Structure 1
Amino acid sequence: TDKKIVGCIRWIPKLVSKTEHSDQKLVYVDNYQPVASIEPVPLTTKRLKEALQMKNIVQQEMNDKEDQDDEDESGLVIGSVFETRNRNEADNDIDDNDDDVDDDVVENSDLNNRLPFRNNATWSVLDLNDDILVVNPTVLLVTAPTTIGITREDSNISLQKFVDETSNQIRHSGILDRMNGLLRDQKIAELTLRLEAEMRELNVEIEKEKSKNNNKLLEELQQELLHKKVQGEKLKTSAHKIIAMDYDNIQSIIANTFLFSKSQFIIDHLIAKQPMDSSIPGIPSIAIRENNDLYCISVTGTQLHHDEFKNVLQRIHDLCDATRSSRVYYQQRLNSKLESINNLMTQVIRPLPSWKCYIKCFQQLAKSKIEEFVRLYDDYILQKSKFMVEECIKDASFHAIKQLEKLTDMYTKKKQFLPELEILKSETLDECIKEHISLQQLKFEKKPSKQSLEIMNHFINKIKTEFKTKPTYVGFALEQFKEIPILLQRIMLYYRCFLLQLPLYESSKEFLEKTEQATVITIATPNGSGKSALLPALLIANGYDKVIVTQPRRLLCTRMCRRVNETLTANRDESKLAGWVVDGAEQYVNSHILYLTDSLLKERLLNDEHLITNIINSSKPIVFFLDEVHERSVDIDLCLALFARLLTEKPEIRSKLKIIISSATLDPTVPKLFRQIPQLKVDEFAKPTLGTLCPVTKCERTNENILDLVQELCKKRQRYDQILCFVSSVSEVNQYCRLLEEISHGTISAFPLIQSQSATNQQRNIEKGSIFFSTTVAETSLTFPSLKYVIDTGKINIPVYDSTKKQTILMEMRAAESTIKQRLGRLGRTKPGEYYSLYDFKVEDQKYPKPQICQSDLVNTEFSLRKSLIKNGLDYLKQYLPDAPTSQTITSAVEELRRLSKS
């Protein structure tokens, strides 16, 4: 009636969380914590069994991990699109609770779709070249998780203190002693019977001698018989002093190692302590027998013999315990050193798969090395203990601990452990390289060349040598361990660059060597060879901390950055390899590679006198990579001039920076500008005949109508093939797009690509369309996934300033050879291509376009120079320009500024 329930609570259940994160493991719930988000449920026997079973399954999967489930733990800031491990297979090798680390990887099915090749063959590096790395291909890295049983102890603790603290754990079970009356009686009976037998033999001898009347011998026999009777009387009177005892529970190591071989020595020692009358021979005696894996020692002798034997046995036990303790003590000292190293390694805040793999592998090898060291020490200390047994038996003051501690100290000084761990660091690096590079199965359109493999070999071996010899990596301080993840990043970046299979990779060794030796390097290689994406990444892999890459347009900065990060960075959550900065916007600015517009770099050079020193934060120089220099815009030429001025007027900064000037074709006036600077090291890296990934065919269609040619190609093109047409102006772009749709009655649609379009619109057009009409914007800044045909009118509209009329006129001109090469270089990147030329002039007649600074209005340029830190105009700076504008043009700009200042 009062609605009360009366009874007893039989049990209060343990509560565990039932959420998606704890569904496969037990997460105990505090009865007092908020339960809104943890979904508490009672812990049942069924759930406990399921959790334990799941834990065993996970452990087994980690131990027996198959190749197809291996994680490509490149994870570095420079990871890969070639990851092969499922995202759900999180790496728990360092910390089972490390759930915050989420490796952003893709499954194998997605992998094949993301690779830039189709219908590919599959190779591993070992398949391509058995000698690619200095590793044993038959020894696979053991990837099972390692748990090293380390007791947290002070490595400087003495052996004596260690034995005192662990004596209860080390000392084996006590020895039991008990009286053995039967053995005593048997021993006395044996002595009595033997004495009686000897007396009977003497009586027989006496009777024989009586008949011979040999009085002398007879007398001797009778005296001996009398002596035996006296012995018999003594035996009867002394029998009660003889005691037989069994000493049970003797460990096999004590019996086999110390007692068996020293039984007679112990008997001699007991006799020396209490000599027995000759009338009682064979006393004391010792017998050893096995009893259920233990041993029993039967001792027959006087009480004094037993007392002394107990003391001897105790000293031997102490010696055995000390030997065992020494072994545990020695192993603990090794474990203590390894534990401190492990603690330091886990303090390195780089939760990357490659670093996890390195730690796991290092622990594996270190555990094996400890086992080897302990095995050798066991043999050593056991041998030394055997030599001590006789002293242990004789010397009542024998102290095993002190002697073994002294021997252990001598041994550890002679055979040191840390130098072996230093070797293991290099072996661990070899194992990581083998797992993440040599054994990876990857798909390529064609088998990588032997030269590219040799180049990758060279880079990796160079880093391995650096790791073994450079003082930065030698030692076990936190500073040394922080350098290892960076080294792993560099190795994997070299490897990712190899996977791209860009033509320039085969020459990258030469490029990096030239960069090391010179301050200014000019690069001239065809489009699509990898200048803008591959070379900056290789510079970072070679140890440079910062590479600043200039691009002529904002769109190109963002797209190059995205391409580098997509192909050379694995995980979205990791720091990106590349970032970008344009006027008013930026992303990932602290990345190793930074793409920015040449106009922005120009402004920084003009107005920041500490630009170089503020960026440098490492011993390596900062690299300025000026790309697409062939365009020779005003900003590009000003950047060249400002660097030339800086290197001329401040020679002390030459060691702090590298300047790389890159283009498909390079006007000789550019390298000449830097060669005339005294004592400046200038080199060039030119590969004009470097091929593309796919072949390109050139077709001449002089003066043919561009729309007729487009319709002809539409008939033979395959699905997804794209056609790109270069025309001179925006009006022609729009006109040709409209006319093509009209004459084809709407069956063929073309899309415009012009400078004024947003990046989003341009990308949308490229994704939707197959036919495009473009101005110069498509020469460098846009990427076509399936470009098959390029039609080139050979025309280009250029704004030209007339200083006498003080106006800029848009003039149609023929394209220079460098421009033609840029357009031709759009092909051959993803598939074979065809280039159709509609022009009738000789391309080689004009190799390079006229620099814009020589045909542009320079009023704004003059103003920006005079208000900058330079405080001088073009009259001063023209000495550093590769191609200086005319004096008339400069004077006209100055006069215009004066006029504007008065108005």
Structure 2
Amino acid sequence: MDNDIDSIKIEIIQQKEPPMWLLHANSVQHEEMSDIVHRMHDLVHCTLRQIQTFIHKIKDSVRMFGKNVGSCAHLRTKNGKTFVKHLKMFLDEKEKELKEKFEKDITDKCRSLVVKGSILNEAIYGRELEYYAQVCLQWKSIERHFEDFKRKAFHAFIKDSKQTWKFEKYDTETDQILNQHLERLEKVFSSDPYVGIEEEQIALIPAMLLRVEIFCRCAQQGLELFKSSSTILSKINKHTVISISTATGSGKSTLLPALLAADGYGKIIVTQPRRLACNSMSDRVNKTIGKISGWAVAGARSKNDHNTHIMYLTDGLLKEYLQYNEGKIISEAANCVRGMVFFIDEVHERAVNIDLCLAFLAKLLQLDLKGKVKIILSSATMDNSVQELFQKFNNDYFALQIESTLRFPVHTSRIKINETMFDLIERLKKDCKKHEQILCFVKSNTDVTQSIDLLKQLKKIDAFPLIEFQSPIIQQKLVAEEQIFFSTTVAQTSLTFPSLKYVIDTGIINIPIYDPHTDTTVLTKIPASHSTITQRKGRLGRTQPGEYFPLYNSHVKRLDFPTPQICQTELSNIDFGLRKSSEEKDSLETFKQLLPNQLDQAIIIRAHNRLKKLGILVDGKQFTQKGKDIAQLPDFGTLELSTSVHAALNKYNCGRDVILLAAILSVLNTSTILPKLSNKYKRPEEGDYMSLLALMHDLSSQPTSINNPELADIQHYLRRALLRLKIFETYFSNTSTKSEWQKSAKISSDNWYNIAQAFLDGYWENVYISLDRLQGRNKRYGRYSVTPEEFDDCRKQTAVLDRATVISQKLHPECVFARDIICSTAIRTTSRLSFLGIIPAAWLTHEIERKVKVTATEMTKFKEEIFHSIDHHITYSTTGHEIIFKGPTGKVFDTEQHVREQLCNEYKWFLPDKESLKNNSMLRKNMPKVKRNIFMPFLWRWQNEKQVEKMNIEKESPTLLKIVATCREKDAESIVEELNSFFNWLSQCESFQNEQTDNVQPQQLNSSNSGIEQRIKRVTDANRTWADLKQAVSQGTRESRMDVIAWTLVCKFHCKLHGAFVRDRIINNRVSPSSDANPESWVNYERKSGIPVLHSKITPSTIDCHLPIQDYFDIELLLDEIHKYEDIEVKVFRQHCQYVLLFDEKALTGPFIVNLTEPHVALAQGSIDFDIDNLYVEREHPQKLRQRVDLSGPPCSSDLEEIVKKIRMYHFKVLRPIDDDRVRESLKKLKSQGYSQDGPPLTLSPSKSS
């Protein structure tokens, strides 16, 4: 056959399946041909098997790859499905391509083997085909393309994401920055540990997809800060600590944490200074960027907080986390690929917890963290002290200033001249388009309420409050729906306004400032810092163009940053917490080096001493057993409250009661909840604690009662209280808690004595006694548990009860204790007691020392008569003029009260004395006219202010008064001295008139004097508004300020305004000298009396008033009323039955004086020296003048119109002989002011007086 091979012809019939072979040969070759055919079929089958094997192996590889991809649950998300779709597409395309290419190649190989293998049988074609297929699998394996497919799918996913989250308005720079981030992610995706197709590498893909989405959605927001994001992330990557200062509203609080998540950091903890901000910031991130954020505040947290990249916490929660979880933090950071980030936002606020967080972070940096912890300090502005702290403990610090602008322009405009805030709001409201909003910043919650009321009263415009004690739900609802708002600092950072157009800023804030030297915290009005002003202005320009109206003086000195609160706060709680968390190794003393600003050593000493007073420390360093016990308890907010809970559990069998109270007291910063309680809860005989306990018993036993409509306004407080209660209950039900505490925490006595005793264990320093029990003023309370000499600030020593208390205003309890002692610059000389419990003094067992000042006579009486009756529990000692009592508080109080009562004597006087009556004819003439009624204000004053008992004045005879009083020796001397002063005036009075004989009718001037009537109305119209009065003080002249004080005296205190002010201000409308005169030189002081007098040329100089005869006049109430104006300063001088008040001694507008005279003395001073001083005005006749004496008859013959005419012409008549120095001095002063005398002096006959 070999020789005849050329004669053999073989054909394949292609259309047959399997193929048919046609052989053209000699018959002898057919046998051989049969073998060829067999080999040919075998070659084909071998080829088909290799194709099937190849396809099977490709599918196996794809299937295994798909299995690894499919096993990753996180790729079943929307992002994952998009990525897998692209990956499958690339796999399918490649699988088809490889299959077709292999079939072609293996078929060609098969053809090449037909002759050599099948016909000539010179090759083992099966091996060759198998070898060829293996080579093809090796060089054309689909596995070799898997990594490329991953990258291509990732790239395709990026393109899809950019399209899905495309910009609303394209910005080239933003797109370039986004591409930089995405290109960097593609490089990361192509590097270890992402290379590979095993489950371990596949599991890393979802996080990368999310990072792409986050970057795209961050860019979509269109915020300026994104354009700096490459720089920011690069600096954060290179440095351990970085401070970022950027414009308010730039998005640093929401965008920057999201960018950190996109950059691959495993855990990002972001602090916010307020609870609402945590929730709102997290929601905003989840809505705009994706569900990557959670939040947590005390007692509440989001449901997704365990599986989020970003966690928003209050600075208080972060402080606790850092303080108690140092080991956990190190472990968590080590397990994060890029580590964890602590993002401290709003650092410029420098709250106590923010400074403590900074200190704990500085401490953390001293450990070997291997670069796994990053610290970001974010603020619109940054204080250098923060930077210096971290540079001290870590050189790897970088300060980054990002120049960014708001999305919309903001302009600053000034208020118009003589325009009030309410005028401005009215004007802006008219300019507002639909839904545009106005936000007004004022200093306090009281100002918020007053401003809303006044805006409604003056302009018929509704406004709404935004204050920190509101429910966050209510705040968000108001911001979404209403137009005009008044707020304090709460609206600076926590709220987002959808259409804020205008911000009006008074530039003032109220801040609590602690004075360690007096142990007093005072809510103080101060100018807002520049950083605070920046925050407020930064509310604008976020959703539309804005306009900022500063109502403050730009020249007022302001701090660049607020003083750190930790430097002006009482820190005993912090000291205790440091000792507790460090197992008594740390304290404020050792920890202070970690704080950005150095503490006053006096603050540290005070905190240390308070721990000792509460029985928590012994020998100044170690915990007592009581201290160790309290350290095991949950945090109840304050040491005093923790001490009270401890006492309830261990001594007074009322653990459940006090725990219920602790739950609600720990969430209440204000007593505004108390008036809103239903009457069924109120316990006015026992006070606020038992009222709150009734409420908490109801809520804890019937949780659905919280939905009662009566509780709607306070529901947010109650929900927080119930969350706190749940935490406390969990602790006391835990098996690791002391077994005796587990039992006592369930005991409810509902007995006020037991509960009060438990609270007194913590609040014993806050016990106050009604001063009227100690010969003091009515409705005032004195701090009784602490010796007053320990303090210089009297505000904490004298107090009034909070009006919000459930205690009836008619009920005047002998003794109370308070949770809060509130001192404020808005309250002049007292403090306000809040959260009150009424207790008998007998319940007070704490040991105290009290001092009672006495005269020499009283000391003798005490030693000879009184000391025998002193309780045997009391020890006493005496010094020159003091008796000192020591013992249990209740016993000391009873003893002091008893001694004071025994030192009182009954005194009787018959005045004036016979010698004075004999020698003074004027006194004898006037005495029959003196009636008892004119002394009533005098009597009321002594009774209300000194508790003088059985005081009475009666006519013994026509020329003699009988005065009776039971009082102390010093008071008796003062009473006689004051009455003798009255008789001295009476002896010089030529026209004494009892109040009841005044029949000169008020008159209205003719229409040509409308200006005078307007000025009368200015001081007598009771309907003048607070806004009008406030503006007259803050923006007015010296004369307008005098008008306000005159109005207050006439309209609020029913005084009669007479004398020079009526003459010079109301009639002549005179003003003080020009502004180039030095106002401080206007005041002189009389040598003997020390009473201030103004320079004679100052006009008007004084406001002269007669105090009302029908009412008790309380000088303290007047000073409180004046104090409300804030910008007025006043000094009080006391003469017999007369007050002299010096106003504005150092004010640029210039000082003035007010003389207030009690009725009996005012009547004794009734002589009229000059006809033009005969006028007065009063509240009952707001546009009319009255005359003190009728001058229409001879010798004066001047009616009201004539007197007014003379004043305006600067003429006057003298109505009495010029026979004493007082009249001569008055005449000289009048002439120096430009007045001319008409004719010789007249003699006004008393009989002509009405």
- 1:386 corresponds in structure 2 to 111
**Alignment partner, residue 144 of structure 2:** 419
**Residue 670 (str. 1) matches residue 386 (str. 2):** yes
- Give aligned pairs, total: 611
Which of these residues, 340, 349, 366, is aligned with residue 631 of structure 1? 349
Aligned residue in 1 for 2:287: 566
Partner of 2:135: 410
Structure 2 segments unaligned to the other structure (5+ residues): 617-845, 847-1250
Match of 2:276 in 1: 555
Q: Distance in 2 between matches of 1:374 and 1:844?
A: 83
Distance 1:843-1:669 versus aligned 2 partners, 3 A rule: farther
Aligned to 1:335: 59
Q: Which has the bigger relative contact order, CA under 8 A and spacing at least 6?
A: 1
The residue that corresponds to 2:329 in the other structure is 612
SS in 1 for 2:438: strand
* Segment drifting more, 599-608 vs 820-829: 599-608
Once residues 609 and 292 of structure 1 are traced to their aligned partners in structure 2, the CA distance between those partners, rounded to angstroms, is 81
For residue 785 of structure 1, report the CA deviation from its aligned partner. 0.8
Amino acid aligned to 1:744: K
The superposition leaves residues 777-828 of structure 1 with CA deviations (integer Å, 9 ceiling, x where unpaired) of 0000011111111000101011111222211111111111000000011011
Structure 1 residues 580 and 270: CA distance shift in structure 2, 3 A: farther
Q: Residue 395 and residue 341 in structure 1: after superposition, are their counterparts in 2 closer, same or farther (change >3 A)?
A: same
Paired residue type of 2:498: P
Instruction: Note the C-alpha offset of 1:597.
Output: 0.8
Residue 192 of structure 2 is aligned to residue 471 of structure 1: yes
Q: Do structure 1's residue 831 and structure 2's residue 553 form an aligned pair? A: no
How far did 1:608 drift?
A: 2.5
Pairwise mapping of residues 884-895 of structure 1 onto structure 2 (< 5 A)? 884-895=598-609
How far apart, in 2, do the equivalents of 1:516 and 1:284 lie? 80
1:802 aligns with 2:515: yes
Task: Name the stretch that deviates more: 373-382 or 509-518.
Answer: 373-382
Instruction: Report the secondary structure of 1:471's partner residue.
Output: coil
| Alpha-carbon distance between aligned partners in 2 of 1:512 and 1:365, rounded to the nearest angstrom | 33
Query: 2:301 is paired with a residue of what secondary structure?
Result: strand
Contact in 2 for aligned 1:270/1:308 (Cα 8 Å): no
> What's the counterpart of residue 245 of structure 2?
524
Correspondence for 1:352 among 77, 81, 87: 77
Q: 2:576 aligns with which of 858, 863, 873?
A: 863
Take 1:331 and 1:324, find their aligned partners in 2: how far apart are those partners? Answer: 11
**C-alpha displacement at 1:295, in angstroms?**
7.3
> Residue 194 of structure 1 aligns with which residue?
none
- The two structures, once aligned, show a CA RMSD in angstroms of 2.3
TM-score (norm 1): 0.65
**In structure 2, do the counterparts of structure 1 residues 642 and 291 end up closer, same or farther at CA, with 3 Å as the change threshold?**
closer
The residue number in structure 1 matching 2:486 is 773
CA distance in 2, matches of 1:337, 1:440: 32
**Equivalent of 2:176 in 454, 457, 480:** 454
Equivalence map 1:205-224=2 (5 Å) = none
Which amino acid in 2 is paired with 1:722? Answer: Q
Q: Look up the match of 1:699.
A: 413
Distance 2:144 2:18 in 1: 41
Give distance in 1, aligned partners of 2:170 and 2:139. Answer: 51
User: Which of 401, 404, 410 matches 2:126?
Assistant: 401
Distance 1:551 1:299, change over 3 A: closer
| CA deviation after TM superposition for structure 1 residue 495, in Å | 0.6
Contact 1:548 1:593 in 2 (8 A): yes
Residues 564/285 of structure 1: CA separation in 2 closer, same or farther (3 Å cut): closer
Correspondent of 2:364 among 633, 646, 650: 646
- Of 872, 877, 892, 2:591 maps to 877
- 2:43–2:118 contact (8 Å) kept in structure 1: no
Residue 372 of structure 1 and its aligned partner are, at CA, apart by 2.2
Letter in 2 for 1:883: N
Deviation at 1:443, TM superposition (A): 5.5
- Aligned-partner SS, 1:496: helix
Of residues 37, 40, 47 in structure 2, which corresponds to 1:316? Answer: 40
Residues 293 and 772 of structure 1, relative CA distance in 2, 3 Å threshold: same
Q: What TM-score, normalized by structure 2, do the two folds share? A: 0.47
Cα pair distance change 1:728/1:387, threshold 3 Å: same
Return the offset for 1:442.
Answer: 4.3
For residues 415 and 299 of structure 2, the distance between their equivalents in structure 1, rounded to whole angstroms, comes to: 45
Select 2:440's aligned residue among 689, 712, 725. 725
Distance in 2, matches of 1:309 and 1:722, equals 101
**1:727 partner amino acid:** V
Partner in structure 1 of residue 707 of structure 2 = none
Specify whether residues 286 and 465 from structure 1 end up closer, same or farther in structure 2 by C-alpha distance, changes over 3 A only: closer
Pair 1:308–1:553, CA change in 2 (3 A):
same
**1:362 partner letter:** L
Aligned pair partner of 2:202 in 481, 494, 499: 481
How far, CA to CA, are the matches of 1:775 and 1:624 in structure 2? Answer: 28
Question: What is the identity, as a one-letter code, of the residue corresponding to 1:676?
Answer: K
Which string of whole-angstrom CA distances, capped at 9 and with x for unpartnered residues, describes residues 600-632 of structure 1?
111222222323124333232211001111111
Letter paired with 2:109: K
Instruction: Describe the SS at the equivalent of 1:882.
Output: coil
Counterpart secondary structure, 1:453: helix
The range that moved more, 315-324 or 846-855, is 315-324
1:496 CA drift (Å): 0.7
Aligned to 2:914: none
Q: Structure 1 residues 782, 843: closer, same or farther in 2, change over 3 A?
A: farther
Q: What is the alpha-carbon distance in structure 1 between the residues aligned to residue 536 and residue 17 of structure 2?
A: 88
Long gaps (5+) in structure 1: 1-267, 273-281, 570-575
Over 3 Å counting, the alpha-carbon distance change for 1:654 and 1:465 in structure 2 is: closer
Contact 1:621-1:657 at 8 Å conserved across structures: yes
Q: 1:761 to 1:440 in 2, by over 3 A?
A: closer
Cα 1:827–1:309 shift into 2, 3 Å? same
1:460-495 Cα deviation digits (max 9, x unpaired): 000101111x22111111111111111111111111
- Alpha-carbon contact 2:165-2:217 (below 8 Å) kept: no
Q: Which residue pairs with 1:599 in the alignment?
A: 316
- Structure 2 Cα separation of the partners of residues 535 and 655 of structure 1: 20
Structure 1 residue 702, shift from structure 2 partner? 7.5
Q: Which moved more, 1:873-882 or 1:784-793?
A: 873-882
Amino acid at match of 2:534: K
Give how far 1:720 is off.
0.2
Aligned to 1:836, the other structure's residue is in SS state strand
Separation in 1 of the partners of 2:138 and 2:20?
A: 40
Change (3 A) 1:619 1:717: same
C-alpha distance after superposition, 1:203-224 (max 9, x if no partner): xxxxxxxxxxxxxxxxxxxxxx
- CA deviation digits over 1:164-190, x for unaligned, max 9? xxxxxxxxxxxxxxxxxxxxxxxxxxx
Q: Percent of aligned pairs with the same residue?
A: 38
Q: Tell me if structure 1 keeps the 8 A contact 2:512–2:521.
A: yes
Q: Which amino acid aligns with 1:606?
A: Q
Deviations 1:105-151 (A, max 9, x none): xxxxxxxxxxxxxxxxxxxxxxxxxxxxxxxxxxxxxxxxxxxxxxx
| CA distance in 2 between partners of 1:844 and 1:317 (Å) | 105
Q: Hey, what's the Cα distance between the residues in 1 that align with 2:100 and 2:399? A: 59
**Counterpart in 1 of 2:234?**
513
Deviations 1:644-688 (A, max 9, x none): 12223x2x12522111111111111111111122x530001212x
| Whole-angstrom CA distance in 2 between matches of 1:482 and 1:532 | 30
Matching residue of 2:397 = 682
Alpha-carbon offset, residue 736 of structure 1: 0.7
Q: Is the 8 A contact 1:697 1:834 kept in 2?
A: yes
Query: What secondary structure does 1:661 align onto?
Result: strand
Contact 2:218 2:289 in 1 (8 A): yes
- Which whole-Å CA distance do the structure 2 matches of 1:861 and 1:646 have between them? 18
1:455 deviates by 1.1
Does the 8 A contact of 1:270 with 1:305 survive in 2? no
Q: Are 2:257 and 1:536 equivalent residues in the alignment?
A: yes
> Does the C-alpha gap of structure 1 residues 484 and 843 become closer, same or farther in structure 2, counting only changes over 3 Å?
farther
**Conserved? CA contact 1:604–1:611, under 8 Å:** no
